[in-house]
Structure 1
Amino acid sequence: MSDARPGTRLVFDVAVYVLARLLLVAVVAAVILGVGHVLGLREFPLIVALLFAFVIALPLGIWLLAPLRRRATASIAAVDERRRRDREQLQARLRGEDPSTS
């Protein structure tokens, strides 16, 4: 993806991070259900497995998905910087100054 559209990059990076976190929860829930099945718990409730998966995936995701989180954070920072710069230029124009000299 190009850096010409930081907003598009932001949406992509955040979406990838969110999908990775959801996939991690699904994988952990599947492991919990599989372990329950191996242990003979044939009717292990899915909601219980999902709740445990959320709790386990929170700290696990911080460690495993750090590169994706850093990329999403960098995209957010780039968009924030662009908005700040645009706001400063607008304020300079409203004051009657030449924004390119600021």
Structure 2
Amino acid sequence: MSDNSDNQTPGAGGRLVRDVVIYTFARIAVVVALTAVIYYVAKLIGISEFPLIVALLFAIVIALPLGIWILAPLRKRATASIALVDERRRREREQLQARLRGGPKKTD
């Protein structure tokens, strides 16, 4: 007895997963790129035995604030998708509670 008006945001869950996965991979890509840059710049300036783990740790520290700035559009899109899914779940929970109390059904 479910109609399509109960689910006004079809595919919002899929969009949420896609947006979060894209944002996560973008953050990882920033760390990988910075690691390569740090490692090869160290090699260029003459540090012959620069540990890769040190380059990775520096890249993680640098990527934290840099990713916030560079990846702002992706982060905002992921946050909006999360908010959309949360709103749908809140609305569905309210409708379920109203039905369990025997109140009137919402038709929006």
Q: Sort the TM-score into its range (normalised by shorter chain).
A: over 0.9
Cα distance between partner residues in 2 of 1:101 and 1:24: 46
Residue in structure 2 matched with residue 31 of structure 1 by the alignment:
37
1:5 and 2:6 matched: no
Residue in structure 1 matched with residue 22 of structure 2 by the alignment:
16
Cα distance between partner residues in 1 of 2:53 and 2:26: 20
Which 5+ residue runs of structure 2 have no aligned equivalent? 1-8
Aligned length: 100
Cα distance between partner residues in 2 of 1:99 and 1:73: 30
Give me the TM-score of the superposition, normalised by structure 2.
0.88
The code of the aligned residue for 2:21 comes to A
Equivalent of 2:68 in 55, 62, 78: 62
Post-superposition CA distance 1:18-37 (Å, at most 9, x none): 00000000000000011101
Q: Percent identity?
A: 65
Return structure 1 stretches of 4+ with deviation > 2 angstroms.
Answer: none
1:48 and 2:54 matched: yes
Cα distance between partner residues in 1 of 2:69 and 2:47: 30
Give me the TM-score of the superposition, normalised by structure 1.
0.93
**Bigger relative contact order, structure 1 or 2 (CA pairs below 8 A, ≥6 apart):** 2
Which 5+ residue runs of structure 1 have no aligned equivalent? none
TM-aligned CA deviation for residue 100 of structure 1 = 1.4
1:92 and 2:98 matched: yes
The code of the aligned residue for 2:106 comes to S
Structure 1 vs Structure 2 CA RMSD: 1.3
